[in-house]
Amino acid sequence: MRAPAALSLLLLCLSPLTWACKSEPPPAYVRLHGAAPTLADVPPSRAVLVVFWASWCPPCRQETPQLVALAKAPPAGLQVVVFSHDESPQSVASFFEGPPPSPLHLRLDADKQAGGAFGVEQLPVSFLVVDGRQVARFAGPRDWDARAMRRLLERLIREPHPLD
């Protein structure tokens, strides 16, 4: 076999391996800087993923299984807190067919006070808060349990966050 043909054959055989090693791009987000609004009754943690959600919102419903999976097994130092824009706890319980999973730390924001403090204009939207500082904003439904998302959250939590 001639050298160029052998090289072509070798590259052809290895090309699936190089494709499999490529990492997927990180999920889209908007970088934020500045103090986060103070939230009462948030579990103590260095990092909090603050999620604004509603059971009547189709994109919110879409991301719920991945959000629950992330909340049950979060990266080190992260807690998930969900603010529901539902009108009643019964609506939330009906959606979950019982009480919401406790790792979501779900609470009602029917008066939109917490949402207003974060400037929420659409659902779902999530904010990563680290050491009391807003770090990132994620608009729209996300695959919270995806490897790329977990890596991104871990990286954002580890990064230094300068005071503004």
Tokens of 86: 């539902």
Average pLDDT, the chain: 85
pLDDT confidence bin for 2, thresholds 50/70/90: low
Encoding tokens for residue 94?
């009906």
Report yes or no: 152 and 159 within 8 Å, Cβ to Cβ: no
CA distance 54 to 57: 5
pLDDT at position 28? 86
Judged by DSSP in three states, 35 sits in strand
Residue 22 confidence class, pLDDT cut points 50, 70, 90: very low
Tens digits of residue pLDDT in 43-64: 788 899 999 999 999 999 999 9
Which pLDDT band holds residue 122 (cuts at 50, 70, 90)?
very high
pLDDT of residue 25: 54
Tell me the CA distances in angstroms from 145 to 11, 26, 45, 66, one per residue in order.
34, 13, 19, 5
Closest CA to 44 of 132, 148, 142, 123: 132
At 44 the pLDDT is 81
What values do phi and psi take at 139, rounded to 5?
-95, 140
Q: Which residues contact 150 (CB under 8 A, 6 or more apart)?
A: 70, 75
| pLDDT tens digits along 37-48 | 888 778 788 899
- Strands (E) in the chain, as ranges, are 30-31, 47-53, 78-84, 107-108, 125-130, 133-139
